[in-house]
Amino acid sequence: MGLKERRRLRSSTHLRLTRPVLVNGLRLFWAIVIFWGDFGVYFWSLASCRWPDSSLARSKERPTHVMIISDPQVRHPSIFYEETAWLGSLRQLIFDLNLKKNWNVAAHFKPDVVIFLGDMLASGKHVRSENEYKQYFDKFRSVFSLHNSIVVHYVPGNNDVGMGVSRALSKKVRQNYFMTFGPFNHQATIRSHQFLFLDAPGLVDEDYQRSAEGIPYDRWDPVPEGPLEFVKSIVIDSSPVVLFTHIPLARPDSASCGPLREKGSIRRGAGHGYQNTFGKQTTSFLLKTLQPIVVYSGDNRDYCDYKHILPSPDREAQHKKDVREVTVKSFSMARHIEYPGFQLLSLSDPSVALSKNKPSYADASCTLPHQNGIYSHIYLPLIILTFIGLVFFNLARQRRMKLLLPPISISARALPTSPSLSSAWVPISPTGSLPSALRTPSSSAGQTFRAASHPDPQGTPLNSPLYYPQDREEEDLMFPVQYATRDTRLMHDEWAPEHSVATADYHTSSELESSSSSEPFSLHAPRRSWSWTFVLFGRRRRITIRTMRLPTLSWGGFCGSFALLVEGRNSDAFLLRRGILQSIFVDAISIIWPSLLFWTLISWWTF
């Protein structure tokens, strides 16, 4: 392949995919993916979630908005520092970031009241000291930052205060909970509705005591300041009752939870420190005593919508009453579910709703993104595809580079007949038309080759060598010096430094800067730089830092800015020098660090 053909091939490759185009394109692609996966997908998933005000009776006053959050499961602050494996620390960081982003998105609904249905802390029952519990609570408040105008209510969960533990330990933990979150059992009136917040773990412990003694609820002497005493003290009036409990009420194991549940159903079960549902007697006692219009529970992590049948005392079918129970999805990432969520509750005046034959409450379930799926089903496959693309690109680039490099010739090249078309620095002899036997004497010592012209800094090292006898170091009689001429260099035959790896290092910064063009934007234009020369391991070394030159505000500068997307003159030489593996590694690092920086900025902004 001749020099002109190689230049024509090189100019045609500029129209192909170059390394700057690929790297910058992947940087932009990953910025879009990260922005969508860590920010945009949250708002997209909640685009159809609205306050269910349209289901209520129309009134002059705006409905009261209540947000219900279940099982936030905030991790202990010391877990992140005590984690020895870097993978565990990364998992903990992702969990905290996801929880904070979930709340930042949910806070855009601007609720009037926020209710936490227990398990605010993932390991609150294991905390012993009051100071440590206070630090744990401070982390919870830092994640769920609330405006002072928002009313907050808490319901204790089994991970907050424990369940089935010794009295001494339970008393200490419950005291820490009371000092931070507030009372265990309490009631509040919100928009003419009576909200009851029940201590479910305490009710389970008291139920075990009652069952052990075989005493029914109607004859049981409640524990002072316990949940049963609180339930029996409630005065039922005309205000609708809404019950909030961490543990769901009892139901058949085969009961359906509706289409919004991901899998399975709520089944009975108990173990050390947990119980899936209340007992049948406890459930019947709560429904008959409180007569709620709706019950909201948590702990199960998945959504469930179930209707309890509460028969009237006369046991007539027409007097049977349905009590709806909604088990709210977990707000945090959990193994049991893919999509976290929360519940929106709208309240209107019961008197207005009754006059218009409309319900006084309406709720809606909101689903958050599957964050684990984003990392495992989007980020990880795209990382693998990006790496595979870099491998194929560098392999194809190396193959194309080998086609562009000319082969090294060790045979004599026929000299051009026309002096105007001769290559630069090639001597021309007037005896060139004679036979080779007359021009070159034979030698028994063998053939060697030597360049006839003096070395040129910008000349090609690939010019064909000239034959000369080895045993004659003096002037060749058949090739006198006076006949050696230097032909003028043609513009299209100028040798570029990228045609050789060896010559790429011989050009100094002054030589490169002296070859500036007259275009408004040039990569070889003189630039301000800072250099430092020093001696290291007996060799002189120099570090040069140049300032970045921006394109001018003109059409030439606009066109010249596209030079940043074209491979440099020495890019092939650098690829050959550092090898295919190092080239892939450098390209991957050049894509990874902007993506990590962008992800860090988004995480910092949302956190």
pLDDT tens digit sequence for 373-410: 898 899 999 999 999 999 998 888 777 766 655 555 55
Q: In 3-state terms, what secondary structure has residue 115?
A: strand
Grade residue 69 by pLDDT with cuts at 50, 70 and 90.
very high
**What mean pLDDT do residues 24-30 have?**
92
Same domain, 93 and 125: yes
In a domain, 495, yes or no: no
Amino acid at 84: T
230 neighbors 103 (Cβ within 8 angstroms): no
H-state helical runs in 374-474: 380-404, 436-439
Distance CA 599, CA 30 (A): 10
Token pair of 562, please?
């596209």
User: What distance in Å separates the CA atoms of residue 566 and residue 14, rounded to the nearest whole number?
Assistant: 7
Which residues, at least 6 apart from 128, have a Cβ–Cβ distance to it below 8 Å? 172, 173
Tell me if 253 is assigned to some domain.
yes
Do residue 511 and residue 557 come from a single domain?
Answer: yes
Phi, psi (rounded to 5 degrees) for 444: -80, -15
Number of H helices, E strands in the chain: 18, 17
Same domain, 37 and 118: no
pLDDT for the residue 384: 94
**What is the tally of structural domains in the chain?**
4
pLDDT band at 411 (very low <50, low <70, confident <90, very high): low
Q: Do 41 and 55 reside in the same domain of the chain?
A: no
Q: How far apart are CA 427 and CA 454, in angstroms?
A: 10
Least confident segment among 119-128, 163-172, 519-528, 587-596: 519-528
**Does residue 478 sit in the same domain as residue 348?**
no
Lowest mean pLDDT among 69-83, 177-191, 268-282, 569-583: 569-583
Same domain, 34 and 57: no
For the chain, the helix, strand and coil percentages under 3-state DSSP, each to the nearest 5 = 40, 15, 45
Residues composing the chain: 607
DSSP structural state of residue 380: H
Using the structure block, give the residue that is written with the tokens 């119980």.
275
- Burial category of 12 from C-beta neighbours within 10 Å (exposed 0-12, middle 13-18, buried 19 and up): exposed
Q: Are residues 550 and 576 in the same domain?
A: no
Residue 415 in domain? no
Q: What is the DSSP letter of 378?
A: I
Q: What is the rounded distance in angstroms from the CA atom of residue 76 to the CA atom of residue 133?
A: 9
**What is the band of 61 on the pLDDT scale with cuts at 50, 70, 90?**
confident
Q: Residues 334-344: pLDDT tens digits?
A: 888 999 999 99
Is 331 inside a domain boundary?
yes
**pTM for this structure?**
0.70
Contact yes or no for 286/227 (Cβ under 8 A): no
Average pLDDT over residues 507-511: 42
On average, the pLDDT of the chain sits at 77
508 shares a domain with 471: no
Task: Answer whether residue 419 shows pLDDT above 60.
Answer: no
Sequence-ordered list of residues with C-beta below 8 angstroms from that of 40, at least 6 positions apart, any chain: none
Strands lying side by side in the sheet with 341-347: 151-154, 113-116, 64-69, 341-347, 361-367
In the predicted structure, residue 480 carries a pLDDT above the cut 50:
yes
What domain range includes position 562?
A: 501-566
Q: Is residue 53 part of a domain?
A: yes
Q: Coil, helix or strand for 65?
A: strand
Reading the block at residue 576, the tokens are 């050959």
Residue 499: is its pLDDT beyond 60?
Answer: no
Residue-wise pLDDT for 164-218, tens only, equals 766 667 788 889 999 999 999 999 999 999 999 999 999 999 999 898 888 888 8
Q: Are 325 and 249 in contact (CB under 8 A)?
A: yes
381 and 363 within one domain: no
Contacts of 331 (CB under 8 A, 6+ apart): 69, 70, 71, 72, 99, 102, 103, 340, 341, 342, 368
Element (H, E) at 343: strand 341-347
Angle, CA 359 vertex, CA 354 and CA 365 arms, to 5°: 165
Check which CATH number belongs to the domain holding 123 and give it: 3.60.21
Among 62-71, 379-388, 572-581, the least confident range:
572-581
Measuring CA to CA, which residue among 303, 126, 276 is closest to residue 201? 276
pLDDT tens per residue, range 427-453: 555 555 555 555 555 544 445 545 444
CA distance 551 to 63: 58
Model pLDDT, residue 408 = 56
Please indicate whether residue 434 or residue 281 has the higher confidence score (pLDDT).
281
The pair of structure tokens assigned to 5 is 């053909």
User: Is the separation of the CB atoms in 73 and 119 below 8 Å?
Assistant: yes
C-beta neighbour count of 591 within 10 angstroms:
22
Residue 413 belongs to a domain = no
Query: 103-152: per-residue pLDDT in tens?
Result: 999 999 999 999 999 999 998 888 878 888 899 999 999 999 888 899 99
The residue-averaged pLDDT of 9-29 equals 75
Question: What percentage of residues in the chain have a pLDDT greater than 70?
Answer: 67
Kindly report the number of other CB atoms within 10 A of residue 100's CB atom.
17
Tokens of 525: 């234009």
Alpha-carbon distance of 601 to 604, in angstroms, equals 5
The per-residue pLDDT for 464 is 47
Task: pLDDT band for 550, please (50, 70, 90 cuts).
Answer: low
- Three-class SS of residue 66? strand
Average pLDDT value for residue range 532-542: 84
Would residue 442 count as lying in a domain? yes
* One domain, residues 384 and 332: no
* Residues 122 and 181 reside in one and the same domain: yes
Kindly state whether residues 31 and 131 are assigned to the same domain: no
Residue 194: what pLDDT? 95
Beta strands in 117-164 (DSSP E): 151-154
Q: Does residue 416 belong to any structural domain of this protein?
A: no
